[in-house]
Amino acid sequence: MSSSSTTLPGRLGSPDMTLRHDPRADPRMIAAMEPFGLADAEAEAPVDAASSIEDLRDYCRQAEEGFELLFAALVAGLPEVDGVTRSVETIRGVDGNDVTLYLHRPVEDGTDRVGVLHLHGGGMVLLEAAGAAYAGLRDELAARGMVVVGVEFRNGGGKHGDHPFPAGLHDCTSAVRWMNENRERLGIRAVVISGESGGGNLTLATALEATRDGDQVDGVYAMCPYISGAYAAAPEELTSLRENDGYFLSCRTMGGLARIYDPDGEHASDPLAWPLHASIEDLRRLPPHVISVNELDPLRDEGLAYHRKLTEAGVESRSRVVAGTCHAGDLIFRDAMPDVFDATVDDIAAFANSR
């Protein structure tokens, strides 16, 4: 038997590795990234966890503008989804503020559907539910027979103002309560929460808070959740934070964005802010979960660690790893990898419809 060691994956084996040269990366994803320079090493962000909160918020607004343009470009030209109607409602949140909800429904009437509360990505500090990419995702879910509600929750930063934790979480739990109170009007038998990245954080945190407060949640589907808060100093056990650092996301930047969400660090171990810190006891009463992660994502291992905690707590939980993709790559690059996108959306639908 050879005594030579196996090369470690990603930047563990080669500190200068980029997505473009990682042999695990789906070549269709790399081709889609090419026009935007996303497959190569990015210039270091001008901020990190040690930056002033004013500098971090300024950077957040600039980054938000860039991501909105990127996501709009990636869905430009995609055909409109047939068989879906859209409407908008405004509800009163638990903090007394107005919360905008975007409703997407199948055209055909139904009284036994599943309601999916969708929470958008952006690290809880940027982007908006109104964006074309998120509206398109909600359309795709509604076309598969569900009533989908997108929440314009208050972000920690960005163009809609600075609203640190727990403002956005409270808006999401307000939406869960509204969906439960309006099950008959919406024609839904169950409420499932789903979201990706920062929306994955809020998906898990909303399930924790809603369950604690007695609001019914029938299922949880979290994708590439951003839940450790440990980006300025990556823990040894979260190997992917080093293995895939700089692959579309960097720990340096995430450490800065985490401070926008919790400026004084008062909630660093609060599971409602960073769900990976939930205790086994916190998790015991939760409904069934799916935790979906991306192979080439710095956040991969924290999602898998949460799945393992759920199973230890006796919660029905299933995990999936989307091979060859960066953070949320199965959702972002839907035009370049339609089979990968459809597989994820179909899985959400299958899970939701089983509730």
CA–CA dist 149, 138 (Å, integer): 8
In a domain, 215, yes or no: yes
Domain containing residue 292: 48-353
Give the list of residues 6+ apart from residue 260 with CB closer than 8 angstroms, or none. Answer: 53, 56, 57, 60, 123, 125, 156, 157, 162, 164
Q: Is the peptide bond before 338 cis (omega within 30 degrees of 0)?
A: no
- pLDDT values of the chain reduced to their tens digit, one per residue, 355 residues: 333 446 899 999 999 999 999 999 999 999 999 999 999 987 788 999 999 999 999 999 999 999 999 999 999 989 999 999 999 999 999 999 999 999 999 998 788 999 999 999 999 999 999 999 999 999 999 999 999 999 999 999 999 899 999 999 999 999 999 999 999 999 999 999 999 999 999 999 999 999 999 999 999 999 999 999 999 999 999 999 999 999 999 999 999 999 999 999 999 999 999 999 999 999 999 999 999 999 999 999 999 999 999 999 999 999 999 999 999 999 999 999 999 999 999 999 999 999 9
What is the CATH classification number for the domain harbouring 291? 3.40.50.1820
Residue 73 one-letter amino acid = A
Residue 157, domain member (yes or no): yes
Structure tokens at 40: 């190569």
Asked if residue 231 belongs to a domain, the reply is yes
Single pTM value for the model: 0.97
Q: Give the separation between CA 214 and CA 224, rounded to whole angstroms.
A: 26
Does residue 260 fall inside a structural domain?
yes
219's tokens: 């299922």
Q: How many domains does the chain have?
A: 1
